[in-house]
Amino acid sequence: MERREIEIPDPGPDDVLLRVELSGICGTDVHMYNGGMDLEFPVVPGHEFAGTIRNVGENVEEDSKGAEIEEGDNLAVVPAMPGGSDDWYARNMPGRPRLSKDPDRFGFDNVDEQYAGGMSQHVVLPPKAAYYRLPDGMDVELGALIEPLSVGMHAFERSMQPGIPHIREGFGIGRSVAVQGAGPVGLFAICSAKAAGAGQIIAIDAIDERLKLAEEFGATDLIDLTEHDSDELVTTVKQLTNGNVGPDVVIEAAGVPQAIKQGLELPHDGGTYVEAGHFAYNGECEINPTRIVQKELNIYGSLAYPPTQFESAIELIDQLEDEVPFRKLFNYKTTFENAEDAYEAQESGEAYRATVHPHGF
């Protein structure tokens, strides 16, 4: 990683010039940094960023949800932008834009050819970018959580497929949810489940500090992985639920392959399992497909989120800010000069969400 000065294009009449206030580092950034992603370097990383509008093009009046914007407003920016019009998914499955095979992306594209990510002082937002104005009174710092919150929120919402909740078909008010992994995405899945009316939320992790934070985010039951072998853990989770049969919904947010093998045993038969933790390759595990058939599981993959998830995530933070300690996640802040240290802190688990602040903090 090196610090470099680059020219940013002059914003046109359809663009917005954003002064970046902070950019978060997540597991995908660490994976990229360690050479685990096939990208065309050089890349300016940073896909969890928020900032303040410095200039609004003369043809731009609103953000992506239709709220009026002006210079000085704070924005959270969706990193992925639509691919070309020849993309099959863009034409045939518009409700799942993340399936596009050729998207442009802040934080992942070659900066000489496309776009800089959030670890830069300024970013130009083109017309096809999606961005959302933060409510008056919401600290711009919280805007950097909108992207990972959208990941966790979307993972939970994948379990809310059409069903009949009162006979335990699909999620409903009062149902039980277990979350494997109490990192940021897991925590955000927990607070989403709480806001949606879950009656029981079981957090599973190996780090005591994270389990305590999971309780502050809404977990009702805590399970320390280190106190159980695999079979014991499954039994313990089931015994916490009504009828000792297991949760209605289980969300994998740990990003550990072995967690999936174990996780498929956690929901009650006919329950729902959502896999969200493996956005980037992190190894493999062996599973028995017969168990999926025998348990008649509903299994859903969760790939990030649609852009409109940002609107929901902003609303959730706005509603829960006084109840949920979102700011505790910002436990490692730095500037460009020490960005590599921030990556190391994120990888080691020292940081919940390390943030880089281009203009200081």
How confident is the model over 124-176, as pLDDT tens digits?
A: 999 999 999 999 999 999 999 999 999 999 999 999 987 788 888 889 999 99
Closest CA to 222 of 208, 202, 238: 202
Q: What string of DSSP letters covers 175-188?
A: -EEEEE--SHHHHH
Q: Are residues 221 and 193 in the same domain?
A: yes
Q: Are residues 157 and 129 in the same domain?
A: no
Q: Are residues 163 and 271 in the same domain?
A: yes
Q: Are residues 181 and 95 in the same domain?
A: no
In a domain, 285, yes or no: yes
Burial track 188-208 (b if 16+ CB lie within 10 A, e otherwise): bbbbbbbbbebebbbbbbebe
How confident is the model over 179-204, as pLDDT tens digits?
A: 999 999 999 999 999 999 999 999 99
CB 50 within 8 A of CB 22: yes
In a domain, 145, yes or no: no
Q: What is the CATH number of the domain that holds 32?
A: 3.90.180.10
- pLDDT value for 85: 66
pTM: 0.95
Domain that holds residue 28: 16-133+330-356
In a domain, 344, yes or no: yes
pLDDT along the chain (361 residues), means of 10: 88 97 96 91 96 98 98 97 79 85 90 90 96 97 98 96 82 96 97 98 97 98 95 97 98 95 97 94 92 97 95 97 97 96 96 97 88
Q: Are residues 109 and 157 in the same domain?
A: no
Q: What is the CATH number of the domain that holds 156?
A: 3.40.50.720
Q: Are residues 292 and 345 in the same domain?
A: no
Last residue of a domain, one of 256, 286, 301: 301
User: Cα 91 to the chain's mean position, in Å?
Assistant: 26
Q: Are residues 219 and 114 in the same domain?
A: no
Phi-psi group of 243: left, alpha or beta (phi > 0 → left; psi -120 to 50 → alpha; rest → beta) = left
In a domain, 288, yes or no: yes
Number of separate domains in the chain = 2
In a domain, 252, yes or no: yes
Q: Are residues 79 and 126 in the same domain?
A: yes
Q: Strands, E, within 195-344: which ranges? A: 200-205, 221-224, 249-252, 272-275, 298-301, 332-334
